[in-house]
Amino acid sequence: MPTINPERLLGDLHKLRSFGATGPGVVRLSLSPVDVDARRWLAGRMSEAGLDARIDGVGNVVGRSRNAGPALLIGSHTDTQPTGGWLDGALGVIYGLEIARALAEHDDTRHLALDVASWIDEEGTFCGFLGSRSFVGGEHDAAVDDALRCARNRDGQLLHDALQAAGLAGEPRARLERARYVGYLEPHIEQGGRLEAGGHALGVVTTIVGMRELRVRFTGQRNHAGTTPMAIRRDAGAALVAFIARMDDAFRALADADTVWTVGRIDLEPGSLSVVPGQADLYLQFRDSNAARLRAMETALAELVREFDARGPVGVALDTLEEAMEPVTMDAALQEHVARAAQALAPGRWVRMPSGAAHDAQVIAAQLPACMLFVPSIGGVSHDFIEDTAEEHIVLGCQVAADAAASILRHAGGSR
């Protein structure tokens, strides 16, 4: 099996961290100048590793093995949240780079074909999963084309203008060659606390959860907070608070240990201490790996909206914010390659688990068999500057991913 170089692995991770370093974290938003610099550095490192590397017309960095295949694709993303951690996405990309080098350095694996990708804009600065959606095409093409025409970041910059500034507008887009690939592997930090709490060093992902994002709007009557008796108020804010309590009860009756829901934002209009709110908006997200449970939660929410609306005195309406994301099951055969590698290197210290976060793997899984490997996040923290993973877990995870990659490729016909 290939042997990774821990110093080289960690050195590249820390070098990538330097692009946009902010305290212990990183600010490297998609297609910002520092992100473009990081992509050019990454393409250079891929070329040094013997891959044919390029940055495509949406910003994907793709390093292609010169070996004929069948090939395994390893990837993730290197863009960050506005207050991002240094390993979210970056870990999987640099794992792929290091595994490509490790395979090339050993006589029994240098003939194997491993391609590496850094997908643009997983984090949604312009359009979530832009790079992986562009790569797989098909049903995603219309949305990607629309983003290339109309998508803007939070500063109002058009995606097209950002690509133009980066010198990428008009470059060809990397597209999936289905016949080349046996599958896709995305190593990633867990971004939660389950592995750490259970004393596990590795997680083999079974499913990427589905997600719903909705808005519940409460419409009452704005009025004076001092002169309007409680009995005749149409208080949208009070209705919202009562609704959340009932919603929690309804969801808890349906949930299992992996079900999560979050009221991430509440808007009150006009938002004054002296005014009874005339309108209140509740922004809700819920996630689960079970499609039937997601549907049951949707039904329970809709029934609760109808009940509150009928009862009054505040009107209640439900709106969908984003297209529903269904759970995506990782390929069983690929999972077994990862599980065997985990058991060989960390016996009894790994676990099968769902991913509570969304990943490019769920987009690619519609076209390629896909799998994921997790390493622990210290304190379960991610999407924050203090996000971190112990070096021993970073190194272990990369070696497990390398062994799994070699096993997958040999099983696919890459042995000599």
Binding residues for Zn(2+): 77, 88, 123, 188, 383
CB atoms near residue 304 (< 10 Å): 19
Q: What CA–CA distances, in Å, run from 335 to 125, 129, 305, 368?
A: 31, 23, 41, 14
Q: Which amino acids are annotated as binding site, given as ranges?
A: 77, 88, 123, 188, 383
If you search the block for the tokens 């995870």, which residue do you land on? Answer: 397
DSSP 356-410: SS--HHHHHTTTS-EEEEEE--GGG--SSTT----HHHHHHHHHHHHHHHHHHHI
Residue written as tokens 């049903």? 139
Distance CA 166, CA 23 (A): 26
Is the distance from CB of 232 to CB of 336 less than 8 angstroms? Answer: no
Q: What are the angstrom distances between the C-alpha of 82 and each of 29, 225, 264, 382, 385? A: 7, 38, 17, 12, 10
Instruction: Give 329's Cβ-side CA count (13 Å radius).
Output: 5
How far from 208 is each of 129, 200, 342, CA to CA, in Å? 14, 19, 19
Backbone angles phi and psi of 188, in degrees to 5 = -160, 155
Instruction: Return d(Cα 321, Cα 324) in angstroms, integer.
Output: 9
Give, for 58, the enclosing helix (H) or strand (E). Answer: none
Say how many CA atoms lie within 13 Å of 357 toward its Cβ: 21
With CA atoms as reference, report the closest residue to 312 among 216, 215, 217, 219.
219
Are 359 and 208 in contact, with CB atoms under 8 Å apart? yes
Q: What residues have CB less than 8 Å from 397, skipping those under 6 apart?
A: 91, 95, 187, 201, 202, 373, 374, 375
Gap between the Cα atoms of 30 and 243, Å rounded: 37
Residue 215's DSSP bridge partners are 283, 319
* CA dist list (Å): 364 to 34, 72, 139, 179, 369: 27, 13, 12, 14, 8
Q: Which residues contact 95 (CB under 8 A, 6 or more apart)?
A: 9, 74, 187, 397, 398, 401
